[in-house]
Structure 1
């Protein structure tokens, strides 16, 4: 029996693949490598190059590898860009999820862990985000993730009385950072850590977008969670599903406290040994002061923990990026 990881050649997916293998849940990867890297997939892990929009390919892969479940990460994950590419975002994230569910039904696979996003909440006006907070996504990306959750839940309801009911859960998280393997690092051109690392490597000065927010040091406060912790939670979710144990429809993988952009910049300077004073740029439109999620439900059910300090998050990410040359 195996677990199919859609998007398993990506930064987060590749960590989940490693965590599944370590837990004895044989991973199989399907990825079109539009943003992932085949080199991120560990040797010996079956890899199918292709798009999740190809229902026959996904169903065939599930059958050929005797899959018992899917961890569904594949999609277009750039919230800012989704505003200018809404049709592409919906195709990849909404239609892609529908196709995966249809392929699972064809192949008789009944377990799915969905990689959702805290973007489903939009810009909440509460200090701590809980799972029952109203969903008001503020980008096509956030909308597409919420619709993905709806699709999966609807299929769960539709199959509940059948011989093969769909068992599912969704994991929502914000900013994933660090590295759990020196050969895997975040290559996104839109995430804070890789942006700062690339600027330092190029001899440039990193920027902070606004320092006049209503926070202790004036900079945005967000959830930053280590990728290895994210991967571990996905594995526990898969284990609970396959064991028939109860799970919530969705879990926040939140830090509870959050970190400010200034704190991250200070940690980067401290860990890398590169002394710099970040430039202050104008605020980005729509950026709220603070968005931090609780992880209480996930701690209860998924052994969710923040196992890495800020310096460790920076150090593991920086070492992996430098290792890449």
Structure 2
């Protein structure tokens, strides 16, 4: 990066760096211990960027995404997975008859309704955060680490209830 003259970077990290933090909202200072290789590798890169900043004045912003969801209204921002594995698009596909075997994975979590709780953030908000991070670095700021989520978790059942409320159909 130094040879190429690049002195700043926006890094897409993950909320998985927190492992099983067990609190909401999770402060950026609470990272580790991670519980899977994905979270561990992202946290290692964050640490490498911090070391690189200290050694070479290389500024970076690490954006810790939680559960990205949705698509831009124009259709230009979003993902298309085949097979689809994410809750919201899979539930909507089930309503359209494209997923005959829709099931809730795990109903024995220590949550009020027994299903997993996740913090969801829309892709438009992620795009806006990337622009804000780049603007921060362009102003000469050293950067930092920022969580990208709403600070509120929703259970699988709550998400399915919201889909039913919007569509009038139960998954």
TM-score (norm 2): 0.86
CA distance in 2, matches of 1:192, 1:177: 9
For structure 2, the residue ranges without an aligned partner over 5 or more in a row are none
Q: Aligned pair in 2 of structure 1 residues 203, 146: CA closer, same or farther (>3 Å)?
A: closer
Identify the residue that residue 213 of structure 1 maps to in structure 2: 109
Structure 1 residue 205: Cα displacement: 5.3
Identify the residue that residue 47 of structure 2 maps to in structure 1: 150
For structure 1, the residue ranges without an aligned partner over 5 or more in a row are 1-103, 160-164, 277-325
CA distance in 2, matches of 1:123, 1:180: 30
Identify the residue that residue 199 of structure 1 maps to in structure 2: 94
2:72 is paired with a residue whose SS is coil
Q: Aligned pair in 2 of structure 1 residues 173, 260: CA closer, same or farther (>3 Å)?
A: same
Identify the residue that residue 137 of structure 1 maps to in structure 2: 34
Structure 1 residue 267: Cα displacement: 1.6
Q: Deviations over 1:73-120 (max 9, x none)?
A: xxxxxxxxxxxxxxxxxxxxxxxxxxxxxxx22211111110000111
**1:115 partnered with 2:12:** yes
Contact 2:19 2:34 in 1 (8 A): yes
Q: Deviations over 1:255-305 (max 9, x none)?
A: 1221111111112223234333xxxxxxxxxxxxxxxxxxxxxxxxxxxxx
Contact 1:168 1:241 in 2 (8 A): yes
Structure 1 residue 203: Cα displacement: 5.2
Q: Aligned pair in 2 of structure 1 residues 134, 149: CA closer, same or farther (>3 Å)?
A: closer
Q: Give the number of aligned pairs.
A: 167
CA distance in 2, matches of 1:190, 1:171: 23
**1:240 partnered with 2:136:** yes
Q: Aligned pair in 2 of structure 1 residues 203, 166: CA closer, same or farther (>3 Å)?
A: closer
Identify the residue that residue 186 of structure 1 maps to in structure 2: 79
Identify the residue that residue 150 of structure 2 maps to in structure 1: 255
Let me know the Cα RMSD of the aligned residues. Answer: 2.0
CA distance in 2, matches of 1:242, 1:127: 31
The runs of at least 4 aligned residues of structure 1 exceeding 4 Å deviation read: none
Say which is worse superposed, 266-275 or 171-180, in terms of deviation: 266-275
CA distance in 1, matches of 2:133, 2:101: 40
Contact 1:200 1:206 in 2 (8 A): no
Identify the residue that residue 231 of structure 1 maps to in structure 2: 127
Structure 1 residue 169: Cα displacement: 1.3
TM-score (norm 1): 0.48
Structure 1 residue 125: Cα displacement: 3.0
Q: Aligned pair in 2 of structure 1 residues 196, 275: CA closer, same or farther (>3 Å)?
A: closer
CA distance in 2, matches of 1:127, 1:235: 26
